[in-house]
Amino acid sequence: MMNHGISDVWQRVLGTQQAPPHWLVLVCAGGALLAMLPHPVWRVSRNVVTIAHEGGHGLAALLTGRRLHGIRLHSDTSGLTVSSGRPTGPGMVLTAAAGYTAPPLLGLGGATLLAFGHITALLWLCTALLAVMLPRLRNAFGLLTVLVTGGAFFAVSWWGTEQLQAGFAYLGVWFLLVAGVRPVLELQAKRRRGGARDSDADQLARLTGVGGLLWVALFLVIALSCLLAGGSQLLGR
């Protein structure tokens, strides 16, 4: 019985699921916008973007051979990823650039999985990534945020109906795609007021000699491109 149950689970994870009705895809897109636009709601939902942002820094640090010391997620939706290694060079540049690009790129990757019908696989992959992030967290709020988010993904993937899984997956991917744009705009607004001198864009400016505004523009182009490409896949399936 147990082997049969495990076999069924793996068939669900590795197999494909039927596309949800078009109205559900549109409702999820609207829900993602509602989770991003009103400021009080954004104060809560932005924590998901922060998880992806700091996770991007951490993953880039590991992939480029840097030593990752820890990740902190704060209640004001800010975060901090600490790594050590060469203070300059491609590894440091990629690590610094990975934050603002991670949410939209994750959204695009998720949209591609959904376009091929891998709804359950997407939910399990997100759960696994959050589980891998847990040992790197260095504060209680960060642990709580990732545990709650990962628990939601696991619960839906394990107990949710096919339609609930589809709605949750599409809502999450839409949110990463649309919400990947707003932090970039907020970053430039802070820079214009002189309040973000140690931002990722300004660190990259010091590392590369390329102006911070150009890095912000690059972040925005990537976010908008992912939104266009990912949205087309979600709507076109």
For residues 77, 187, 68 and 50, what is the CA-based torsion angle, rounded to 10 degrees?
A: 30
> Distances from the Cα of 20 to the Cαs of 38, 56, 118, 152, in angstroms?
27, 29, 12, 20
pLDDT-derived band at 185 (thresholds 50, 70, 90) equals very high
pTM: 0.94
The span from the CA of 71 to the CA of 82, in Å, is: 6
Does the pLDDT value for residue 64 go beyond 60? yes
Q: Which has more pLDDT, 11 or 160? A: 160
Q: Which helix (H) or strand (E) holds 25?
A: helix 22-36
* Structural domain boundaries in the chain: 24-236
User: Please, are residues 134 and 143 in contact by the beta-carbon 8 Å criterion?
Assistant: yes
| pLDDT reported for residue 59 | 97
pLDDT tens for 66-108 read: 999 999 999 999 999 999 999 999 999 999 999 999 999 999 9
